[in-house]
A and B are shown apart, each in its own frame.
Chain A
């Protein structure tokens, strides 16, 4: 499945996806993608952070409460964090937050974490595509995060 196969009525519900990208690999790969003029979904809103380890449940919930449809973090590859282990710590927190969503009866696809490689633009664009597809599946099955609030 690719982004083109998503029905327009589901696509309509995906307006804003906040993606926190780390300044090193995450933002690097997005830059590479930009240089190569690769297209990605217009719903993606990139927020540059120093490291995904900076992004915690507070920032993620603030984004969701202020209208984001989903939030994702894109960090360095495992073992390649430019600080020490920020990407791993971020994964731990996002995993707990995913569990919170499950316990509240929501899909756990509203928050996600990816890694990318600065030299390869297709990793960032691929992450965005994966994100949109997962979100569209979640919306089709369980509705958006705004339903029922």
Chain B
């Protein structure tokens, strides 16, 4: 079977993952990194990865007319993904279905390779349960007293939402990456329902029922109305878009943002996010360089605010960096065995390919049973206003911890 895999814009994490299909003899795979200059030829299955902009329309139609079936792989293609957060600043990142009629789609950040092979072979997709059904934590769904931004690694049996951390597990499918195993609440990259972000917004709004909401006297109506000033609701969630619409902004039905853009999509994705979210986002979208970018952001902040980092943490971080350079070689040689081996090692330390385990001050979950977890346990840190700079990364955060400005030099 002829399979052609196209990488459009954005990080190439999903594109790299398709290397794993390279080893299977039933496919004749061709990787196309520059779809614009692709010489048209008939193909059985076309797999599209990466985020899509309006200018890609012609290329996509060309691919569609030459292929028997088209499969969208990864969140960026199917729902806009993390890059759709730039729509807040006027970009038009759109899902594949708005350009061409796709036959199959595989959600997820990173999309699961097993699901992709099922879609390529046009077999029936396995029925997956809701993430909460397979989560070890127990929920009571009581109203929250307060919402917390940074996770404390103490209670490991109560639902994240009950503890006051926003977890998108309610609207997500079970998955392989399982951020919840590494004390990172689910980010909802694999929604189980349509318009998951906006439904989660309603759900979490209800959970916040006990938190004070500001009302004011309405002069004309002589009764009460919702006040315009900030209150505990808005203060406890400083970045609603980044929390609820992390992957689904372009398919959520919200209007396109009108905030002026900085001109660089990568910077626009990061601007407006929270400091504690930065490693999670850079882990998602750094592509080949995600590990070094994530560690650079973390270390910049740690050094500037003298957050103590243990030797063990440094050792593990060093290992991750070494693995990154090995991974790049494996990607170059397109060797599935080598790729699998290295990604397994990265998953062991970083939790998953999105580096859910990596955090400020250490790691969120125990890496090896032989270790003493206390040696490298991440802890809650203070948000300190200021500008942080280290080589290719420079960012400014405001007193609440929102990133006001960020500059990332590629490479």
Per-position binary interface string of chain B over residues 171-202, scored 1 when its CB falls under 8 Å from any chain A CB and 0 otherwise: 00000000000000000000000010011011
User: Which chain A residues border B239 with CB–CB below 8 Å?
Assistant: 103
Q: Is A105 an interface residue (CB 8 A)?
A: yes
Inter-chain contacts of A149 with B (CB < 8 A): 255-256
Interfacial chain A residues near B337, Cβ < 8 Å: none
Residue of A nearest to B257 (CB): A104
Q: How far is the CA of A42 from the CA of B181 in the complex (A)?
A: 55
In chain B, positions 214-260 with a C-beta closer than 8 Å to chain A are: 215, 218-226, 228, 231, 233-234, 237, 239-241, 244, 252-259
Could you show 7 A-B contacts with beta carbons less than 8 Å apart? A56-B202, A58-B198, A92-B233, A96-B237, A113-B225, A127-B218, A145-B255
A117 x B240 contact (CB < 8 A): no
CB-contacts of B24-63 with A (<8 A): none
With A64-B255, A92-B206, A112-B226 given, name 12 new contacts (CB 8 A).
A61-B198, A91-B213, A92-B213, A96-B237, A105-B257, A105-B259, A113-B226, A114-B224, A115-B224, A117-B223, A129-B220, A148-B258
Any chain A CB within 8 A of the CB of B211? Answer: yes
Is A130 an interface residue, CB under 8 A from the partner? Answer: yes
B272 interfacial by beta-carbon distance below 8 Å: yes
A116 CB–B CB distance under 8 Å: yes
Question: A99 to B225, Cβ gap below 8 A?
Answer: no
A57:B259 contact, CB within 8 angstroms: no
Flag if B208 contacts A114 (CB, 8 Å).
Answer: no
Does B205 have its Cβ within 8 Å of any Cβ on chain A?
Answer: yes
Residues in A104-149 with C-beta less than 8 Å from chain B: 104-106, 108, 112-117, 120, 122-127, 129-130, 133, 145, 148-149
The listed residue with most A CB atoms (<10 A of its CB), out of B202, B209, B256, is: B202
Rounded to whole angstroms, the CA-CA distance of A3 and B241 in the bound complex is: 34
B225:A100 contact, CB within 8 angstroms: no
The answer to whether residues A100 and B254 also contact, given A85-B209, A92-B208 and a CB cut-off of 8 A, is: yes
Known: A95-B213, A96-B240, A97-B201. A61 touches B220 (CB 8 A): no
Max chain B C-beta neighbours (<10 A), residue from A105, A113, A126: A105
> B237, A99: Cβ atoms under 8 Å?
yes
Closest to A58 in B: B198
Count of residues in A whose CB is under 8 Å from the partner chain: 46
- Is B170's CB within 8 Å of the partner chain A? no
Write the A79-96 contact mask toward B (1 if CB under 8 angstroms, else 0).
000000100110111111
Q: Which 3 pairs across A and B sit closest by C-beta, in order of nearness?
A: A126-B221, A93-B205, A105-B258
Determine which of B231, B241, B252 lies in contact with A95 in the assembled complex, contact meaning CB atoms within 8 Å: B231
Q: Which residue in A62, A94, A103, A127 is a CB contact (below 8 Å) of B241?
A: A103
Asked if B292 is at the interface of the complex by the 8 Å CB criterion, the answer is no
Residues on the B chain within 8 Å of A123, using CB: 221-223
Known: A65-B253, A89-B205, A103-B88. A127 touches B233 (CB 8 A): no
Tell me, in angstroms, the Cα distance from A114 to B233 when the chains sit together.
Answer: 18
Chain B min CB distance to A82 (Å)? 15
Q: Tell me the complex Cα distance, A94–B208, Å.
A: 12
Is B204 part of the binding interface, using a Cβ–Cβ cutoff of 8 Å? yes
Whether A36 sits at the interface, judged by CB under 8 Å, is no
| B241 adjacent to A104 (CB under 8 Å) | yes
* B 391-407 to A, binary, CB cutoff 8 A, 1 in contact else 0: 00000000000000000
Does residue A11 face the partner (Cβ distance < 8 Å to B)?
A: no
A106-B219 Cα distance, complex, nearest whole Å:
25
Chain A residues within 8 Å of B215, by CB: 78, 91
B254 touches A104 (CB 8 A): yes
Please indicate the chain B residues that have their CB under 8 angstroms from the CB of A65 in the complex.
253
Question: How distant is B165 from chain A, measured CB to nearest CB, in Å?
Answer: 16
Question: What is the distance, in angstroms, from A68's C-beta to the closest C-beta of chain B?
Answer: 12
- Give Cα A110–Cα B252 distance, bound, in whole angstroms: 17
Interface membership of A43, Cβ < 8 A: no
Q: For A95, list chain B residues within 8 Å (CB).
A: 205, 213, 226, 231, 233-234
Taking CB atoms, residues of chain A closer than 8 Å to B208 are: 92, 96
Chain A nearest CB from B192 CB (Å) reads 15
Contact of B218 among A94, A98, A114, A145 (CB under 8 A): A114
> In the complex, which residues 47-79 of chain A have their Cβ closer than 8 Å to any Cβ of chain B?
56-58, 61-62, 64-65, 77-78
Asked whether A96 lies within 8 Å of B223 as measured between CB atoms, the reply is no
